[in-house]
Structure 1
């Protein structure tokens, strides 16, 4: 498995307060076209931007508060959201004769873990753009309090990805977390307590990345690279047929290669978790040939999570995402500590040992995260270049992570066109009476309605 990235205990994670700075916004706005081209994004198709421009005008006039709920299929989404708000919405406003006060911007929630792998400079930049860091998997009271205050009283709308993390699928929506709906109801309460009459609106934003090229070559080359890394695949599967890349024969063989590659990776991981030394309590791996692929994948996820949960003495309750977040927080508690200055030299050495072990055990959770969105039928339902690319990138990231190679670049699958769709907003105020009578039920219903709007935006 990957080498431990943490070699010693670290000081406790501090909250990075949002500190929007106009000059950095201007700099990032000027660099945005270069950043987009660097990520292979060359064409942007936006629908509903006139609606979003009107909503911004309404918010700027003090008649509403906006909560932007955007899909999160990729780590490139922040750049695409910047394109939407900084360029597409002002362009739509000018087209419709609306006068928006610059900047057209939003504050946003982001995972506190981003500066840990992207570096302190990333945390500084996110703060200066108005970002609010939140620790997932725990009740981060300071982050929630800050976000709640800025949603009701801040200068900009608030943007949140309700899926909670990237799911790497352009046409598949992950379960939505209830926090966004709860934040909207809190804003209604805060406005009512202050005697204010603004509407509270949730604006769904669909994002999709679609390949411009119709060339299957990059897909086939990426398949070949992963087949070489995994080994053990039959020659009949690996060898390409002498037929055009888009012929029925080639399409069938390509799918066979994808299935064989996935089965091979799954078998290697099953073998890894069958080791006898130091195995944590968990479900045994049965004969793979007698079990459905998705059942095997679910068992593997359970086995990996059990390994981490046993180390941190956590119970196996909740969804896979909830369990991953609890493991992450337990690991962070061992790594990022408030008491380092109070420890004796021997205690500090033991704390370093504990931090290294926590980082290694968290690796089992990271492995589960890589496969958390694999459905098994996504490509079979629609064997397009885009869906092949999405699934292959999930497998590629998992393989390079297991090898400890970080973000080793795969074969380029772009360039991409981006489809941005602004959905019909949800008025939260009309639901407040229901919220007062049944808070949990109101949050669940609002979350379900938001899911329908987001699915419509990518449909």
Structure 2
């Protein structure tokens, strides 16, 4: 597994207050085309930008408050949302004869962990763009209070990714977290308490990244690259190497069948290596005897078992109970690890105490690594490619495997072979008027949040369907 990135305990994580700066916004807007090109994003298809422009006009005139709920398939999504709000919406407004006050912008929630791996400069930029950092996996009261206040009283709409994290699938929606619906109902309460009558609208935004080419060459080269990294299967040492070295059949159907067999073999090889690793590591639940080499038909069961083993190692170290969804368990492990690493008592420790705390921080970082591994495979379904064997779906699954392998090798910064360029499809769905559910919220809060979340899920699924 990767070496610990943390060598000593760190000062407690501080809240980075949003401090919107118009000149930083202008600099980022000027740099946006270059940033998009660097990610291979060359074409943008927008559906519904006119309706979003009209909603911004309503919001700017004080008739509504907007909560933008965008899909989160990629780490590139913030750049795409900037393209939508900073360029596509003003362009649609001009075409429709609407006069929008500059800047057309939104404040947003982001994971407090981003500045930890992207650097303090990333935190500074996000703050100057009005970003609100939130610590996932705990009740971050300060972040929630700040977001709630800005949503009801701030100068811009608020944007949230209801999936909570990237899922790396363009046509598969992860479970939605209930926090977005709760934020919408809070805004209704705050407006009513202030005697204001704006509508509260949730605007679902679908995002998808689609290949601009029908060339399977980059997919086949990436398959070959990862086959070299993983080595031949122990159950069939020649199978993978023979498929990798032999030319693809001329018949398209036969070529697709061989490509799929290589993907399955690659996935099984990685799974087998990780199963062997967790059979030898302390704290991991043991696979029952005779089940080490389960047949391919049990791939999903094996993957689920592997997730359980990895999470159990981390949970045992932090003395956490294994309850909730995979995502919820990951967030609790992250918070337990951060509590060991980022501390507010460092100045009060003796030299020996500080050494022990540093040791504890390194151990916590290593144990969190098992949770990070699970995060890489959290959205793998096992049937995504076979249901629709497109270049896009192959690319998405291969990129999940590539990032997992790069992480295991300790080379997260290594860029994978390019599969782009890409075109981006942005769909603005019909907004949801939260006021229609606010009466039900007063009598059944949990039920109203669940129903609003389900309605949002339906509209996001329709936007990527």
Paired position in structure 2 for 1:262: 267
User: Which of 290, 296, 299 is residue 293 of structure 1 equivalent to?
Assistant: 299
Select 2:367's aligned residue among 355, 361, 365: 361
Give 1:404's aligned residue: 410
Q: Which residue in the other structure is 1:251 paired with? A: 256
- 1:257-295 deviation digits (Å, cap 9, x = unpaired): 0000000000000000000x5234566573332460000
Shift of 1:242: 4.4
Deviations along 1:185-226, whole A, 9 cap, x unmatched?
Answer: 000000000000000000000000000011111000000000
**Counterpart check, 1:272 vs 2:271:** no
| 1:249–1:92 distance in 2 versus 1, CA, 3 Å | same
1:160 Cα deviation from its structure 2 partner: 0.1
Contact 1:109 1:160 (C-alpha < 8 Å) held by counterparts: yes
Aligned length: 457
2: distance between equivalents of 1:243 and 1:272?
Answer: 36
Equivalent positions of 1:431-450 (< 5 A) are 431-450=437-456
Which residue number in structure 1 is paired with residue 236 of structure 2? none
8 A contact 1:75–1:166 mirrored in 2: yes
Separation (CA, whole Å) in 2 of partners of 1:266 and 1:255: 16
C-alpha deviation, 1:33, in angstroms? 0.6
- Contact preservation (8 Å) 1:283, 1:302: no
Are residues 1:215 and 2:220 paired? no
CA distance in 1, matches of 2:244, 2:342: 46
**Separation of aligned partners in 2, 1:242 and 1:175:** 38
Cα deviation digits, residues 152-189 of structure 1 (max 9, x gap): 00000000000000000000000000000000000000
Give the secondary structure class of the aligned counterpart of 2:227: helix
> Structure 2: how far apart are the matches of 1:410 and 1:420?
25
- 1:456: which partner in 2? 462
- Structure 1 residue aligned with 2:126: 126
CA contact (8 A) 1:397 1:407 kept: no
- Measure, in 2, the Cα distance between the counterparts of 1:243 and 1:296: 31
CA RMSD of aligned residues (A): 1.1
Preserved CA contact (<8 Å) 1:181 1:446: yes
1:341 maps to 2:352: no
Structural mapping, 1:15-30, within 5 Å: 15-30=15-30
Using the alignment, how far apart are the partners of 2:284 and 2:259 within structure 1?
A: 37
Residues 174-253 of structure 1 mapped to structure 2, 5 A cutoff: 174-233=174-233, 234=239, 235-244=241-250, 247-253=252-258
Unpaired runs of at least 5, structure 1: none
Q: How does 1:294-443 map to 2 (within 5 A)?
A: 294-443=300-449
Q: Does 1:87 align with 2:87?
A: yes
Residues 260 and 281 of structure 1, relative CA distance in 2, 3 Å threshold: closer
Deviations 1:364-400 (CA, angstroms, capped at 9, x unpaired) = 0000000000000000000000000000000000000
Q: Secondary structure at the match of 1:255?
A: helix
Q: 1:185 to 1:283 in 2, by over 3 A?
A: farther
User: Is the contact made by 1:241 and 1:253 (CA closer than 8 Å) also made in structure 2?
Assistant: no
TM-score, normalised on structure 1? 0.98
The DSSP-based 3-state class of the residue aligned with 1:213 is coil
Residue 59 of structure 2 contacts residue 66 of structure 2 at CA under 8 Å; is this kept in 1? yes
Q: Is the 8 A contact 1:224 1:238 kept in 2?
A: yes
Provide the C-alpha distance between the structure 1 equivalents of 2:413 and 2:170, rounded to a whole number of angstroms: 21
Per the alignment, residue 173 of structure 2 pairs with 173
- TM score, norm. by length of structure 2: 0.97
Q: How does 1:45-124 map to 2 (within 5 A)?
A: 45-124=45-124
Quote the offset at 1:238 in angstroms.
2.5
Once residues 404 and 343 of structure 2 are traced to their aligned partners in structure 1, the CA distance between those partners, rounded to angstroms, is 29
Question: How much has 1:443 moved relative to structure 2?
Answer: 0.1
